[in-house]
């Protein structure tokens, strides 16, 4: 029973940053959820804007506006950011980006002054011709977004569920 | 070479007391190192094999690891329950293929009692997508039927038709008993090597039934409802401990997880068991590494002791080395003599350590299983331990290099040393 | 007659020493001949024996053992020469304490295939050869006694048996009798001389006791052949 007490203690230590993993907003950290179903590889990236941009308000200066454009440009080229196993022959099918800074035409609901946090949510869907060959995914976000220090990944594939924390020196998840 | 080995063996035997003590130290340290690694391996294996095919585990809001620990591994207790209504909402979600409720809290001779539905036997998978199977009997059908895990049946000697009284709460002694409503064994599950083996399974209605006349954790004084009358009551549970959920489409797991986490009526937590286990390893990994480092240090200390003993013996063996040189031994032979002695003791320590550990794990397996839920396989050595043993041999070799080099240098300066 | 040992212009100096320890213009020992080498302590005796055995590497000159020059020879080859062709007997503590009398005697046959083959030419088993040597050296029934239980005289005879097994061409005895009392000295010497003659081995017998020199073909005084300037030398 000692062990179970230790485990409980450990699990309680983990509580603050795990319970709310899906909605956690920690600068420098982003979350990537990966689901493989049949031929479709779903990637869902959610990140505090700070990790990608260095700020979380509406761009004010020219420099900040350039940064937002730059970020969007990178995310539009998802095949550079995410490299699934080559043999699986995956190609980007659809994607969507969602963030207050990108909704330029709309009412800027989140852009009142203060210390509000803002996120980016992006979803990418790859079609894989040989999904059985899909065993790993290389993630190059760290190269394009130096503000990103850790990427928490969660995966659901036919081989089971897994989780891993990626860093600039460990960029590949496999399953 | 064989004559050198013979000499090394005889020489070692000549100094059997000091070397023997060193051997004991190395044996114990190796047994400790391998023991830690074996527990780690078995814990990982046990946890990883315990659940499969379940996409989400749902419980009251707590930490994901805690939820997995109590819902799947029966370690610890739930802080709060979830409403039956919430469970029904989850089961009704169009993306959900199946949902199995779990109700924990009672026990029988220290084994946990779990209330569930017959669907549990259909949907719960373990290991590599293996289903539960019955070696005797069938799933519970009556309110007072109970299905036993293999270990419960074998340890307590139960078979089909036996009557069992459940206890309220967990623990071994001092528990209030549900002795007014005994259960009858309807089935025994085949062994799985998972917590299922240690669980008594009854229907959710059974859980409700045995608590009908209970208020606040104790039976109401002077008021009993005989077993045959409970059927007249509405036995739908008010709440359950957790739920196992399977999805129609795996890719929906994150969506369903979010939906459940944002459930309006009460705070719920849905976790992916595989992900929670990874998180558990990440946390435990630090402790494991520390433990492995400490035991490695113990082995290192043992082997340093060996090097020290060999170095200390060099002076008294100077004459012996000179004689061997005069007879024709090469300096390399003298070096090999020291190294082979060190390797002999190291290998001896490894062999004895492995045997010691195997004997200990054979003896302690039932106790470890009962107290920590880790099943130790009756194996002499695991493949995963080989790399550690290779490391021990390498360090043992290094420990021999120091006195070996010393002896080599000494044989150079001593010459034939015809005078003493 | 062929030379068992042929030393010409050999100089040796220990690493870090200020002066030569040995400088021998000429020292020759013929095969099968008994030579008495007289040398008081400090005359470079141990060094000379080490050189002959190839344990100490020669830096300069010619050092032929049975026609092979040890100068410039690889240490492992020197070790092989020693194992194959030379038997050593020291003053005392000749034996490996944890090996039996038999194992001690057979050691040279373990390190030298040549000694083993030559021994097997005499008898079908190595143990047979060893037993014959033991009986000739009046050591019957000591075979299984731990060597530490033997008297000093017995130990020296076991050492002689070990030096002689497999008939090496050269036997070097360094003060083998100095730990024995006078009676046993001559008895041991007689046995040793007899066995060397039997094996046709050249015997180099080192001693500071010149009274023993009478039974040898030659007597050589080390100080007279070593022209190195004698300095304080503890060896």
Put simply, the answer to whether A4 touches B274 (Cβ < 8 Å) is no
Put simply, the answer to whether A4 touches B75 (Cβ < 8 Å) is yes
Share of chain B above pLDDT 70, in %: 95
Distance from CA of residue C74 to its chain's centroid?
Answer: 21
Check whether residue B83 and residue B177 sit in a common domain: yes
For chain A, how big is the Rg over CA atoms in Å?
A: 18
pLDDT of A11 > 80? The answer is no
Domain-embedded: residue C3? no
Domain-embedded: residue B149? yes
Of A14, A37, A157, the CB nearest to B65: A14
Instruction: Find chains touching chain B: ≥3 CB pairs under 8 Å.
Output: A, C
pLDDT given for residue A22 in this prediction: 47
Domain-embedded: residue B277? no
Q: What is the CATH number of the domain that holds C158?
A: 3.40.50.300
Put simply, the answer to whether B76 touches A8 (Cβ < 8 Å) is yes
What total number of domains does chain B contain? 2
* Averaged pLDDT, B95-111: 92
Check whether residue B33 and residue B177 sit in a common domain: no
Chain A contact set for B75 (CB, 8 A): 3-4, 7-8
Put simply, the answer to whether B274 touches A162 (Cβ < 8 Å) is yes
Check whether residue B91 and residue B145 sit in a common domain: yes
> Is residue C44 less than 8 Å (CB to CB) from chain B?
no
Tell me which of B209, B237, B271 is where a domain ends: B271
Task: Give the β-pairing of A119-128 and A90-98.
Answer: antiparallel
Domain-embedded: residue C230? no
Please give the DSSP secondary-structure letter assigned to residue C213. Answer: G
pLDDT of B98 > 70? The answer is yes
> Is residue C16 less than 8 Å (CB to CB) from chain B?
no
Domain-embedded: residue C36? yes
Check whether residue B41 and residue B63 sit in a common domain: no
Domain-embedded: residue B394? yes
> Is residue B9 less than 8 Å (CB to CB) from chain C?
no
pLDDT given for residue B180 in this prediction: 79
Residue C220 to residue B38: CA distance in whole angstroms: 72
Nearest to B95 by CA among B266, B252, B300: B252
- Cβ–Cβ < 8 Å for B319, B417: yes
Residue-number span of the structural domain to which B109 is assigned: 56-271
Check whether residue B267 and residue B180 sit in a common domain: yes
Check whether residue B319 and residue B342 sit in a common domain: yes
Residue B199 to residue B182: CA distance in whole angstroms: 17
- Cβ–Cβ < 8 Å for B91, B163: no
Check whether residue B142 and residue B225 sit in a common domain: yes
* Averaged pLDDT, A77-92: 93
CA distance B409 to chain C (A): 13
Residues 6 or more apart in contact with residue B340 via CB below 8 angstroms: B4, B5, B8, B400
Chain B contact set for A152 (CB, 8 A): none
Domain-embedded: residue B130? yes
From the CB coordinates, do chains B and A have 3 or more pairs under 8 Å? yes
Domain-embedded: residue B278? no
| pLDDT level of residue A93 (50, 70, 90 thresholds) | very high
pLDDT of B157 > 90? The answer is yes
Put simply, the answer to whether A12 touches B253 (Cβ < 8 Å) is no
Given a cut of 70, the residues of chain C with pLDDT beneath it are: 1, 229-235
pLDDT of A2 > 50? The answer is no
Of C75, C91, C111, the CB nearest to B327: C111
| pLDDT tens digits, B283-321 | 888 888 999 999 999 999 999 999 999 999 888 888 888
Domain-embedded: residue C165? yes
Domain-embedded: residue B276? no
What residues pair up with A143 in beta bridges, in sequence order?
none
Check whether residue B43 and residue B60 sit in a common domain: no
Check whether residue B76 and residue B120 sit in a common domain: yes
* Averaged pLDDT, A86-102: 90
ipTM of this predicted structure: 0.89
Q: Exposed/middle/buried for B384, CB within 10 Å: 0-12, 13-18, 19+?
A: middle
pLDDT given for residue B159 in this prediction: 93
Residue-number span of the structural domain to which C153 is assigned: 32-56+72-225
Check whether residue B374 and residue B340 sit in a common domain: yes
């Amino acid at each position: 029973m000692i062990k179970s007490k230790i485990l409980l203690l450990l699990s309680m230590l983990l509580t603050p940053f795990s319970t709310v993993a899906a909605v956690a907003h920690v600068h420098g950290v982003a979350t990537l959820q990966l689901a493989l179903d049949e031929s479709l590889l779903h990637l869902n990236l959610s990140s505090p804007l700070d990790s990608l941009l260095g700020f979380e308000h509406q761009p004010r200066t020219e420099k900040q506006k350039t940064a937002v454009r730059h970020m969007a440009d990178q995310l539009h080229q998802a095949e550079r950011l995410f490299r699934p196993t080559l043999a699986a022959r995956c190609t980007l099918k659809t994607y969507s980006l969602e963030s207050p800074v990108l909704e330029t035409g709309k009412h800027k609901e989140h852009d009142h002054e203060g210390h509000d946090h803002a996120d980016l949510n992006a979803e990418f869907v790859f079609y894989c011709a040989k999904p059985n060959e899909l065993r790993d995914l290389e993630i190059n976000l760290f190269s394009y977004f130096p503000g990103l220090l850790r990427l928490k990944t969660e995966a659901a594939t036919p081989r089971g569920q897994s989780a891993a924390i990626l860093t600039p020196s460990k960029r590949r998840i496999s399953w | 070479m064989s004559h050198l080995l013979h000499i090394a063996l005889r020489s070692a035997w000549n100094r059997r007391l000091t070397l023997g003590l060193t051997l004991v130290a190395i044996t114990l340290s190796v047994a400790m190192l391998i023991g830690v690694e074996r527990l780690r391996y078995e814990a990982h294996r046990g946890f990883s094999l315990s659940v499969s095919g379940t996409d989400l585990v749902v419980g009251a809001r707590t930490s994901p690891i805690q939820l997995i620990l109590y819902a799947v591994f029966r370690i610890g207790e739930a802080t709060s329950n979830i409403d039956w209504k919430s469970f029904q909402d989850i089961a009704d979600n169009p993306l959900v293929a199946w949902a199995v409720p779990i109700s924990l809290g009672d026990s029988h001779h220290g084994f946990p009692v779990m209330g569930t539905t017959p669907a549990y036997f259909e949907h719960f998978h373990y290991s590599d997508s293996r289903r539960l199977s019955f070696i005797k009997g069938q799933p519970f059908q009556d309110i007072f039927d109970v299905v036993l895990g293999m270990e419960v049946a074998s340890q307590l000697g139960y078979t089909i038709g036996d009557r069992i009284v459940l206890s309220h709460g967990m623990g071994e002694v001092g528990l209030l008993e549900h002795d007014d409503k005994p259960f009858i064994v309807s089935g025994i599950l085949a062994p799985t090597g998972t917590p299922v083996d240690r669980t008594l399974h009854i229907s959710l209605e059974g859980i409700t039934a045995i608590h009908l006349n209970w208020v606040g954790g104790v039976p109401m004084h002077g008021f009993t409802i005989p077993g045959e009358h409970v059927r007249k009551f509405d036995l739908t549970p008010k709440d359950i401990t957790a739920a196992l959920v399977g999805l129609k489409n795996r890719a929906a797991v994150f969506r369903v997880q979010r939906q459940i986490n944002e459930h309006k009526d009460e705070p719920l937590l849905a976790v992916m068991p595989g992900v929670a286990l990874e998180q558990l390893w990440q946390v435990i990994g630090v402790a494991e590494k520390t433990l492995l480092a400490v035991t490695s240090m113990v082995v290192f200390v043992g082997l340093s002791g060996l090097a020290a003993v060999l170095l200390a013996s060099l002076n008294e063996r100077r004459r012996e080395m000179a004689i061997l040189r005069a007879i024709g031994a090469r300096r390399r032979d003298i070096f090999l003599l020291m190294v082979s002695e060190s390797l002999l003791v190291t290998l001896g320590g490894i062999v004895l350590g492995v045997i010691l550990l195997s004997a200990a794990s054979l003896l302690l397996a039932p106790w470890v299983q009962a107290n920590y839920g880790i099943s130790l396989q009756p194996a002499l050595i695991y493949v995963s331990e080989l790399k550690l043993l290779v490391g021990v041999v390498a360090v043992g070799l290094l420990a021999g290099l120091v006195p070996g080099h010393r002896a080599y240098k000494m044989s150079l300066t001593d010459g034939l040393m015809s005078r003493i | 007659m062929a030379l068992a040992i042929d030393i010409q212009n050999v100089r040796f100096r220990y690493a870090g020493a200020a002066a030569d320890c040995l400088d021998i213009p000429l020292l020759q020992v013929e095969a099968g001949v008994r030579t008495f080498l007289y040398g008081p302590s400090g005359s470079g005796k141990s060094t000379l024996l080490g050189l002959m055995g190839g344990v100490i590497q020669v830096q300069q000159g010619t050092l032929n053992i049975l026609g092979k020059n040890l100068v410039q020879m690889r240490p492992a080859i020197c070790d092989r020469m020693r194992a194959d062709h030379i038997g050593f007997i020291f003053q005392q503590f000749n034996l490996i304490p944890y090996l039996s009398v038999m194992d001690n005697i057979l050691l040279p046959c373990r390190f030298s295939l040549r000694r083993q083959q030559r021994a097997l030419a005499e008898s079908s088993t190595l143990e047979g050869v060893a037993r014959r040597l033991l009986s000739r050296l009046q050591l019957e029934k000591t075979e299984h006694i731990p060597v530490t239980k033997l008297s000093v005289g017995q130990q020296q005879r076991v050492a002689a048996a070990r030096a002689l097994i497999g008939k090496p061409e050269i036997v070097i005895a360094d003060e083998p009798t100095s730990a024995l009392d006078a009676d046993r000295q001559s008895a041991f010497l007689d046995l040793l001389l007899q066995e060397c003659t039997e094996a046709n081995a050249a015997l180099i017998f080192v001693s500071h006791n010149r009274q023993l020199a009478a039974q040898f073909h030659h007597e050589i005084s080390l100080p007279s052949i070593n022209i190195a300037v004698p300095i304080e030398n503890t060896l």
